[in-house]
Structure 1
Amino acid sequence: MVADLLHPWFTPQWERLLTQHRSNRLPHALLLSGAQGVGKHDFAQALANLLLCHQPTASGPCGHCHSCDLRIAGHHPDLVSITPEAIGKPIKVDQVRVLIDHLHSTAQQGGYRVVIMEPAEALNISSANALLKILEEPGDNTLLLLVCHQPGQLMPTIRSRCQRIDFVTPTPEQAQAWLSENLGLDTEKAQQLLRLCHGAPLKARRLYESDLLEQRKKLMTGLADLLRDRVAVTDLALQFGKFDLLQCLDWLNSLLSDIIRMQLANLPEPVVNPDMKSMLQAVAKRADSAKIFALADRIQEERVSLMLRHNPNRQLLLERLLLLWSDLARKT
């Protein structure tokens, strides 16, 4: 149902699009832009559910017409979802060509045809150019929903042909209340998850429900052992190479952010990673600021490279970063 997908921080965007829809001014392409984990996909799905329903009510789709039955069963012929074939891979031109062929036919249920593409920034040059053909001539009652976490990575010609809807991260109070209610967590645990996820509540939920927290625990233990010379860089890089690499870089960057805050703002303890208080206090006391910023810059370079879908040698990448990390606490 729409109510399950429409989070309370989406009300302004939802009302805006409902007004456009009721006055037959809904565009043929929407760019849903915002940080990952705030719920843009849920919003796209809620809008698709409403548009595909043959007997919508004031609160959303009816849930019992033939179109709703098909959608609920997961086989609606007029709802197309396009994602990369694997995490970190691009959306291929062949996927877009299949979509073009599909949209050349009429809607099988006689209403809207809706396409949800996520993440839209995964389009490569060939697939983006192919998508332009759809954006220029989408056909009647067709809506393309491009869910995008990094709009700057989209071709300007793609962005210019979409109406952009921006989604901000909810307030800490909204995010904490939602997370506590959905996962049955106390306030402190919910706040800690949100700190690790930059305030994005759905990302925090995925973190809690996956094995990523266990990966983080192993990462933090390994980094602490490395500072004490209890483990070799090569062995640790081999272990971390099995983890979500982009997530590891984000966690390492969050540690550096805490250290910088403790040094520059003279904070007594870390903000994002309070469970690593002892380690971060020790590094903040001993580390040279120039080394910290150099490592932060290197992490950002590697993050950009990964998001651009380059294929680095994971072992060498991690070894370089871990050597820089181990060097932080060594006095010169």
Structure 2
Amino acid sequence: MADGILAWQAGLWQLLAGRQQHAHAYLLHGPAGIGKRDFAERLMALLLCQRPSLEGACGACRGCQLLAAQTHPDHYILEPEEVDKAIRVDQVRDLVDFITQTAQLGGRKVVLLEPAEAMNINAANALLKSLEEPAGNTVLLLVSHQPSRLLPTLKSRCVQQACPLPERQQSLDWLSAKLPDLPERSREELLALAAGSPLAALQLHGAGALQMRAQVIEGIKQLHKQQQSPSQLAEGWNALPLPLLFDWFCQWAHLILCCQMAGDAAAAGAADMHKVVQYLAQKSSPAKVLALQEWLLAHRQKVLGKANLNRVLLLEALLVQWASLPGSR
């Protein structure tokens, strides 16, 4: 759990931590990487603390000590058993069994579920009854990065709470404290890649995203110069995360369209792809770019939905379409 509340969460913390009565279920939602999980863990600690204050859990009572040791009998964390996998219905059934039990320490039971959109349809349906009428003094904290993917019936049973996004300078200050040895320009590039989400930017740094992006852009340039084929590039990108690749290509397709519609070079986006975006905006037909964008968005949803896809064939299909953009205006 985070040592302290993040600067941009202070207002929301005051709002929720100061409540005498809590809802039975909160849906904490917002873009990935803005600290929702840290906030939820801090709120869980407060709700289980035997001597809470507006600042948070006391850290010294029996409840806090048990939670710190991950042995508190009245807390439950539900998340995918493997990274990027679905939360299955049998996991939710185990959770429902926990909810129906009496709190062993005589206070609340608290559940943290993240990410909520990882539940498949059967799992989400299995949770609905407990969301509507949780047994005893139970508070469920659902964290979602993509609330649009949740069942309307699930969302309607929760108090939906949008989590605040940090201002750009707050994000840069936070990143500077976390990555003091990284050049300022690199921190700015990471934050731009993370769409302004500082915790996501830190995660991208740990994954080597700047190096991966440089590799992808160099490959695209070689593709247009016919120095590499789509199949060669698809094989060479085998270790790169598909969600990241699809995010970048969706963004670039959007920027090409912006350049075409606005006729403005400033719409070409980040400097590393500026020339490529401008070139494709000039040489491609809007109809072909729109068709590619539609394909990208559809397959991005499949990637995010953990569909069973042939990775190499998927990337090859993407690159064949990308390479065919210039011409036929």
Decide: shared fold, TM above 0.5.
yes
Pairing of 1:52-201 with structure 2 (within 5 A)? 52-184=48-180, 185-201=182-198
Q: Which residue is equivalent to 1:215?
A: 212
Residue type at the aligned position of 1:188: R
State the TM-score, normalized to the length of structure 2: 0.91
Q: Which residue is equivalent to 2:242?
A: 245
Residue type at the aligned position of 2:7: P
Residue type at the aligned position of 1:116: L
Pairwise CA distance, 1:181: 2.4
Contact 1:259–1:280 (Cα < 8 Å) also in 2: yes
Question: Which of 314, 322, 331 is the matching residue for 2:311?
Answer: 314
Contact 2:284–2:327 (Cα < 8 Å) also in 1: yes
| Equivalent position SS for 1:14 | helix
| Equivalent position SS for 1:284 | helix
Distance 1:144 1:65 in 2: 22
Q: Which residue is equivalent to 2:280?
A: 283
Residue type at the aligned position of 2:86: P
Question: Which of 10, 27, 32 is the matching residue for 2:23?
Answer: 27
Aligned length: 328
Q: Which residue is equivalent to 1:45?
A: 41
State the TM-score, normalized to the length of structure 1: 0.90
Contact 1:226–1:233 (Cα < 8 Å) also in 2: yes
Contact 1:195–1:272 (Cα < 8 Å) also in 2: no
RMSD: 2.2
**Superposition misfits of 4+ residues, deviation over 6 angstroms:** none
Query: Structure 1 residues 2 and 224 mapped into 2: Cα distance closer, same or farther (>3 Å)?
Result: closer
Query: Structure 1 residues 211 and 78 mapped into 2: Cα distance closer, same or farther (>3 Å)?
Result: farther
Distance 2:35 2:46 in 1: 17
Pairwise CA distance, 1:16: 1.8
| Equivalent position SS for 1:115 | strand
Q: Which residue is equivalent to 1:11?
A: 10
Distance 2:93 2:70 in 1: 22
Pairwise CA distance, 1:330: 4.3
Residue type at the aligned position of 2:13: W
Distance 2:49 2:214 in 1: 45
Distance 1:272 1:74 in 2: 45
Pairwise CA distance, 1:2: 6.0
Distance 1:74 1:326 in 2: 52
Query: What are the superposed Cα offsets for residues 278-331 of structure 1, whole Å, 9 maximum, x if unpaired?
Result: 333333332332222221111101112223332222222211110111112346
Unaligned runs of 5+ in 1: none
Query: What are the superposed Cα offsets for residues 206-254 of structure 1, whole Å, 9 maximum, x if unpaired?
Result: 1012233333222222112111111121121123243211111001122
Residue type at the aligned position of 1:134: S
Query: What are the superposed Cα offsets for residues 258-294 of structure 1, whole Å, 9 maximum, x if unpaired?
Result: 3333443344456643123333333333233222222
